Amino acid sequence: MVLVVYYAVPRRLKNAVLLIASLVFYIWGEPRFAIIMVSTAMTGYLAGLLIDCLKNAKGRRATLIVGLALCLTPLLLFKYGDFFINNVNTVFPGALSPLNLVLPIGVSFYTFQILSYVVDVYRKQVETERNPFYFLMYVSFFPQLIAGPIVRFQTIQEEIRYRHVTPELFASGITRFVIGLGKKVLIANNLAGLGANLAATGTRSVISLWMIAFTFTLQIYFDFSGYSDMAIGLGRMFGFHFLENFNYPYLSRSVSDFWRRWHMSLGSWFRDYVYIPMGGSRVSGPKIILNLFVVWLLTGFWHGASWNFIAWGLFYFVLLAIERAGFGRVLSKLPSAVSIIYTFLLVNLGFVLFNASSLGEAIFNLKGMFGFQALPATDLMAVYYGKSYALILLIACVAATPLPKWLLGKIKAVKADFVADLVTVFGLVLILVLATGSLIDGSFNPFLYFRF
- Are 274 and 298 in contact, with CB atoms under 8 Å apart? yes
Q: What is the CA radius of gyration of the chain?
A: 23
> Can you tell me the distance from the alpha carbon of 317 to that of 269, in angstroms, rounded to the nearest whole number?
17
- Assess whether 303 carries a catalytic annotation: yes
Q: For residue 325, which of 263, 259, 251, 255 has the smallest C-alpha distance?
A: 255
Q: Which of 74, 156, 75 has its CA nearest to residue 120? A: 156
What phi and psi values does residue 375 have, to the nearest 5 degrees?
-95, 155
Q: Show the 3-state SS of the chain.
A: CHHHHHHHCCHHHHHHHHHHHHHHHHHHHCCCCHHHHHHHHHHHHHHHHHHHHCCCHHHHHHHHHHHHHHHHHHHHHHHHHHHHHHHHHHHCCCCCCCCCCCCCCCHHHHHHHHHHHHHHHHCCCCCCCCCHHHHHHHHHCHHHCCCCCCCCHHHHHHHHHCCCCCHHHHHHHHHHHHHHHHHHHHHHHHHHHHHHHHHHCCCCCHHHHHHHHHHHHHHHHHHHHHHHHHHHHHHHHCCCCCCCCCCCHHHCCCHHHHHHHCCHHHHHHHHHHHHCCCCCCCCCHHHHHHHHHHHHHHHHHHHCCCHHHHHHHHHHHHHHHHHHHHHHHHHHHCCHHHHHHHHHHHHHHHHHHHHCCCHHHHHHHHHHHCCCCCCCCCCHHHHHHHHHCHHHHHHHHHHCCCHHHHHHHHHHHCCCHHHHHHHHHHHHHHHHHHHHHHHHHCCCCCCHHHHC
CA distances to 188, 337, 347, 429 from 342, rounded to whole Å, are 24, 9, 9, 37
Catalytic residue among 164, 241, 263, 303: 303
What is the set of active-site residues?
A: 303
